[in-house]
Structure 1
Amino acid sequence: MDLQKNKTYRCQITDYTADGTGFAKIEGRAVFVPRTAVGDQCDVRIVKVTKNVAFGRVEKIIVPSGQRIAPACPVADKCGGCCYQHITYGEELRAKEKKVRDALTRIGGQDGAKLLGITGAPTTEHYRNKAQYPVGRDKEGSIVTGFYRPRSHDIVPVDRCLIQSETADKIAAVVREWMTEFSVKPYDYASKRGTIRHIYVRVGEKSGESQLTLISATKKMPGLDVLVERLRAAAPSLTGILLNHNQRDDNVILGDRTDVLWGEPMLEDRLCGHTFLLSPEAFYQVNHAQAERLYACAVDYAGLTGEETVLDLYCGAGTITLALAEHAKTAIGVEIVPEAIENAKRNALRNGMENTEFFCADAGQAAQRLAKRGIDVLVVDPPRKGLDATARDAILKMQPPKVVYVSCDPATLARDVAELCGAGYTLEKARAFDLFPRTFHVETVVLLSKGEVDSKKIRVEFSLEDMDMSEFQDGATYTQIKDYVLEHSGLKVSNLYISQIKRKCGIEVGKNYNLPRSEDSRQPQCPPEKEKAIREAFKYFGMI
């Protein structure tokens, strides 16, 4: 019997999805239930049914999981920032470790035992050194800041966030009051009118400094002098108040121009024994204590003796580069953001690290140019979408004996590990680190080494006519796309559906791959919900 929408069923939660949603089997069908814990026995109302999966909402907890706790956050059931406020931290770590292990096994095709565990955070509250609050209005028209409701652009008002710094919350409150008093309107993305888009606060864990960057769609606004005065009184730790101009139509937070309203243009902090100056554009890990553990692991995996040339791709403000330079002959950092590279160069000089070089360039292109330098160890810390095709190709051309991969997304990490291992590398070991308590995000460090190539050769003959050669081109393989879609939406998709959507998106597909054998032949067409899930996978793997 198929599941019925709006009907309530009793079930037990047995697992979590990659985004922290609870998973249950009801009537043989996979059902995803938010805000549940493994071990919960509950009554679930079905709110949506698709061909292969369903989505439910808890009506009543019959027997709570032993890992369930009362959320400390009053808006935990509404805000899209945290998904694990309702379970113990030990259970959260177990779920995250399993998430990384499953990705390395299912997507990466690796031995899950190579993951040596997960390092938990010393605290789960007020650990973030970076806050970016969207600004809007509530139903009464009052100005609010907070975080987006899941899968929407509705702002859930949050005056005190348990994972953000208390300084950031205090600064946001001052800005809200100023906007109300001086009739400064929040930016409305639908009408493309208004002024303040985001309030961006960064704090230095070790320096004690803080910095505010207001992101505005207009260049002028009233009462800025008053705002500066009130901010300095409310938050004495402020060393800089900046105004960033962003008139883009998309949801990119920072624009191209930043002016200083008061104070210094950069924030200072200390990490891994080095002093760093940070512009608003520069990448800097949000959890200071865990970042030091993460980078120490990356340096350990690099196994440096002082004689190596190390290349650090996606180097940001040079945090990992300087940590590597302490133990290497030469450390080279590459980053595409000009402001970050300027920060990195200043930081190297500031810390007396003369054995460093920094280049502003695309990671893949820079790696190709630097291949002839003879790189002994390559360290990569890419964005969530992982390595692009150019970077992967450059790594394989460079053939460094060791690759240390720092990742913020297990799925794209596993995809890239599969590619590199398929080209002769071996996954030696890996360790996960929780830099984002109470959210589903997790960092991982892996060590890949260049293995011996088998000298035995086998002659294989096959026809290319019906083969989809895009498996060997940019993006993810069909298996990886299937795994991603299943993990994130619970839907099973076929090669036929993937190739159909590839053609719709203009992605190259083999000339005859999955086409009807004759003009009179009919093929099933990809349903809308599966097309949406496949397109999300394409975006995730950087294919569109």
Structure 2
Amino acid sequence: MPSKRYRQSPSRPTRRPIPPIEVAIGDRFPLTIKKLGINGQGIGYFKHKVCFVPQTIPGEIIVAEVTAVHEKYLEAKIHRLKKASPDRVSPKDDYAGLAGGFELEHLAYQRQLAFKRQVVLDSLAKFKPFGYQHYQVRPTIAAPHPYGYRNKAQFQIRRIDGKIVAGLYRANSHEVIDMVTCAVQMPATMLVMRQLVQWIQELQIPVYDEESNSGIIKTIAIRESRSTGEIQVTFITNSRKLPHKRLLLDKIQTELPAVRSVIQNFNPGDTP
């Protein structure tokens, strides 16, 4: 029998591993935002590496400035906005992009609703619950009034440079940002909050200090009834003792007649 002839296939060239990208904090580069992440931050790609940039919108072109370098991804901020999206709007709050909870205020409201629906669709596609292909995910229902609707405000109380402030934490930190106004809150909740802060300052009631776990007032929560306008105030404290309690209550009763109940919630330690 004639011997079989075997053809040797040509050897494929060996792929060289892609060298790691050398990126440092402060580096800048052009970046096109492709989509939004689940937390509302824009996502672009630099040298095949994911880059998260808050306060950006898909389709925008920016000059990004690196703020953190991780093994698999980068974090950055906008150094310069080269091409803005038509869906970009001016936030009503000065601290949008600083305090947590304002991640999408730069995005037109209808686009916010579409984004929230897309998060649900993406989650279904990722986790694949039984029969998810047949789910009907309807458009997100819009709030009748996207501003001035929140009837609960819960702000941290701290002393900054000798001044008592009430506000929310800076994103990914425990630094409190003083919030004099807040566009999404019902106006009365903010008025009561500012008045209470003023009295705490005047009466020199100690406020909480996280580093030393000392001080007394940690948080103030205010709830307003949408139907009656009645308000409930809760002081969350690090101690059962609340100096000048009687005087504070007298001021509330006399000058804030809408406040119908006051609660002290004793919650010691480094919890909110």
TM bucket (normalised to shorter chain) is: 0.7 to 0.9
Structure 1 position 91 matched with structure 2 position 111? yes
Structure 1 position 9 matched with structure 2 position 44? no
Conserved 8 A contact 1:187-1:196: yes
Conserved 8 A contact 1:3-1:49: no
Give 1:60's aligned amino acid: R
Structure 1 position 190 matched with structure 2 position 222? no
Match of 1:167 in 2: 188
Structure 1 position 122 matched with structure 2 position 144? yes
Query: What is the CA–CA distance in structure 1 between the aligned matches of 2:134 and 2:42, rounded to whole Å?
Result: 22
Conserved 8 A contact 2:205-2:244: no
Q: TM-score, length-normalised on structure 1?
A: 0.44
Give 1:44's aligned amino acid: A
Query: Over aligned residues, Cα RMSD in angstroms?
Result: 1.7
Conserved 8 A contact 2:91-2:105: yes
Query: What is the CA–CA distance in structure 2 between the aligned matches of 1:22 and 1:216, rounded to whole Å?
Result: 38
Pairs within 5 Å for 1:466-477: none
Conserved 8 A contact 1:22-1:38: yes
Pairs within 5 Å for 1:447-486: none
Change (3 A) 1:81 1:116: closer
Change (3 A) 1:108 1:229: farther
Pairs within 5 Å for 1:128-277: 128-138=150-160, 140-247=161-268, 249-251=269-271, 253=272
Query: What is the CA–CA distance in structure 2 between the aligned matches of 1:36 and 1:154, rounded to whole Å?
Result: 23
Query: What is the CA–CA distance in structure 1 between the aligned matches of 2:201 and 2:70, rounded to whole Å?
Result: 45
Find the structure with the greater CA-based Rg: 2
Conserved 8 A contact 1:215-1:243: yes
Give 2:166's aligned amino acid: T
Conserved 8 A contact 1:136-1:187: yes
Give 1:63's aligned amino acid: K
Match of 1:19 in 2: 39
Match of 1:103 in 2: 123
Pairs within 5 Å for 1:18-37: 18-37=38-57
Query: What is the CA–CA distance in structure 1 between the aligned matches of 2:22 and 2:257, rounded to whole Å?
Result: 58
Query: What is the CA–CA distance in structure 2 between the aligned matches of 1:232 and 1:75, rounded to whole Å?
Result: 32
Change (3 A) 1:192 1:29: same
Secondary structure of the 1:111 match is helix
Q: How many residues align?
A: 250
Match of 1:62 in 2: 82
Match of 2:73 in 1: 53
Give 2:104's aligned amino acid: Y
Percent of aligned pairs sharing the same letter: 25
* TM superposition shift of 1:221: 2.9
Query: What is the CA–CA distance in structure 2 between the aligned matches of 1:85 and 1:45, rounded to whole Å?
Result: 21
Structure 1: gaps spanning 5 or more residues = 254-544
1:16-43 CA deviation, whole Å, 9 max, x = no partner?
1111111111222111001111121110
Change (3 A) 1:231 1:28: same
Query: What is the CA–CA distance in structure 1 between the aligned matches of 2:134 and 2:99, rounded to whole Å?
Result: 33
* TM superposition shift of 1:189: 2.1
Structure 2: gaps spanning 5 or more residues = 1-18
1:234-268 CA deviation, whole Å, 9 max, x = no partner?
43221111222222x242x4xxxxxxxxxxxxxxx
